[in-house]
Amino acid sequence: MADTRVVSLVPSLTEAVAVTVPGALVGATDWCSHPADLDDLGVVRVGGTKNPDVPAIVALAPDLVIANEEENRPADLAALRAAGLDVLVTEVRGLDQAFAELARVLAACGGPARPPWLDRAEAAWLDPARPAIRPRAAVPIWRRPWMVLGRDTFAGDLLARLGVDNAYARHDERYPRVPLDDLRAADLDLVVLPDEPYRFTRDDGPEAFPASVPVALVSGRHLTWYGPSLAEAPAVLSAALRAAVR
């Protein structure tokens, strides 16, 4: 059992710590869904990523709170620091940065910086399968309003490594709002719809786009999480992309 008491405010980091440093996690957000037995292990739920229960976190007396500059609000992290807690904030804009940040987080939590699953993940991404012709794709992450992946995103980097060109990769914003009419007129070869943060499904999302444009429904955990899922993400995502464009 780990000696370090950790509260995680990032679902992917929750999974990474739980499988690498058993016993370290004492708190996690309501959105932390992996591993599935977190509640059985006594991990206390401390609210959402955007609205964590600061007093509940303080009451757990963690040695470390792990967060992310994109997923968590600066005001909440400032409140935790003001309460005397040590807060480690990650920044992940690409795969290489994710690997480095994972090693930093795991070491700070009292675990090995190089667990076997991290080595497997790096190996899996060395030469992932790619299509012969790179499709030009839009990647909506929300609707009402429609929002897509723009520049400088972790998920965009994964798709680029899998041979998919993001049509909005040079947009000024990282997650631009794009009217649906503009998306429909964007001369796309592919639309990629993850099941998080918005839960796109076969009945919610594909119908918005021209029937002539293939739609790939992909696992949001494999596209947007940086943790143990990275080891299987190339195979899972490549299979979904192939099924859409074949």
Q: Is the pLDDT of residue 2 over 80?
A: no
What whole-number percentage of the chain has pLDDT above 70? 99
Q: In this structure, what is the dihedral angle of CA atoms 19, 22, 88, 117, given to the nearest 10 degrees?
A: -30
Mean pLDDT over 180-209 rounds to: 96
Is this model's pTM higher than 0.85 or not?
yes
Q: Is the pLDDT of residue 196 over 90?
A: yes
Distance CA 61, CA 12 (A): 22
pLDDT at 245: 83
**Mean of all residue pLDDT scores within the chain:** 95
Q: Hey, what are 187's tokens?
A: 């001369």
Which band of pLDDT confidence, cut at 50, 70 and 90, is reported for residue 3? confident
pLDDT at 1: 47
Q: Is the pLDDT of residue 194 over 60?
A: yes
Mean pLDDT over 218-245 rounds to: 95
19-50 tens-digit pLDDT: 999 999 999 999 999 999 999 999 999 999 99
89-128 tens-digit pLDDT: 999 999 999 999 999 999 999 998 789 999 999 999 999 9
The ranges of the chain annotated as CATH 3.40.50.1980 are 6-114, 136-245
| Direct distance between the N- and C-terminal alpha carbons of the chain, in angstroms, rounded to an integer | 48
Q: Let me know: does 5 contact 61? Beta carbons within 8 Å.
A: yes
How does DSSP classify residue 161? H
Q: Determine whether domain 6-114 maps to CATH 1.10.357.10.
A: no
Mean pLDDT over 220-227 rounds to: 96
Q: Is the pLDDT of residue 202 over 60?
A: yes
Distance CA 70, CA 11 (A): 13
pLDDT at 118: 96
Pick the CATH number of 136-245 from 3.40.50.1980, 3.30.70.100, 3.50.50.60, 3.40.190.10: 3.40.50.1980
Q: What are the contacts of 23-27 at 24+ separation with CB within 8 A?
A: 24/109, 24/110, 24/111, 26/60, 26/62, 27/56, 27/57, 27/60, 27/62
pLDDT at 129: 83
Distance CA 32, CA 36 (A): 9
Q: Which amino acid is at 187?
A: D
Those residues with Cβ within 8 angstroms of residue 193's Cβ, 6 or more apart along the chain or in another chain? 139, 140, 200, 205, 206, 215, 216, 217, 218
Which band of pLDDT confidence, cut at 50, 70 and 90, is reported for residue 132? confident
